[in-house]
Amino acid sequence: MNLALFDLDNTLIIGDSDSEWPKFLIKRGILDAEHHARQNDYFYEQYKAGTLDIYEFLDFQLAPLTRFSRSELDTLHAAYMEEHIKPIIPQKARALLTAHFAQGDEVMIITATNRFITGPIARELGVEHLIAVELEEDDSGNFTGKPSGTPSFQAGKITRLNEWLAARGETLASYDKVFFYSDSRNDLPLLSIVSNPVAVDADDTLKAHAEAHGWPVITLRD
């Protein structure tokens, strides 16, 4: 059996779910547009440069979740999916997932975006297994605005994947092939240890690295 790992943002969707969520909240007057855009641009430039402080970013990104109960958040997320996410899922991404399902591969999304945002997206794509940033909850089940455990970002994706495999009594060597599809230089640590790395609509750094190492470079844009 093979294991097929997929990054989510700018890989399986044409855009960044972490960025689309605040855009959705701004449209509803929940976030201040100017302040959030300024802070988001600050963090996005760090992300592109590979220098993002994931904990500083999560403090900023998760704060709005603390304003609502879980039921209120679920209602908001349903509208977010319809307005912001479903329109940016390309058919080629769905087709690639379907091909791996048809081959009997174990399929997983592994993303640096939090589980609240990405869980419903994984379900929409038919993907059972998801590694995402886990969120701390209070005694009432509401979000505290803090992450829980190791963030699945850069080398943290390897840590979280190894934890998932260990819980199943497996390692990467348990699989005939391990694919990883990603667009980002931030995923080079994990891309470098799988048997079948694939650069998808890659940033300049990842594209150059992939070409230098003979990795496939593909697009999932329709």
| Residues designated as active site | 7, 9
> If we measure between CA atoms, which residue out of 32, 168, 20, 39 comes closest to residue 83?
20
Report, in angstroms and rounded to the nearest whole number, the Rg of the chain calculated over CA atoms.
17
What is the distance between the alpha carbons of residues 65 and 22, in angstroms, rounded to a whole number?
11
Task: Give Cα 97 distance to the centre of its chain.
Answer: 15
**Pair of tokens at residue 184:** 């980002």
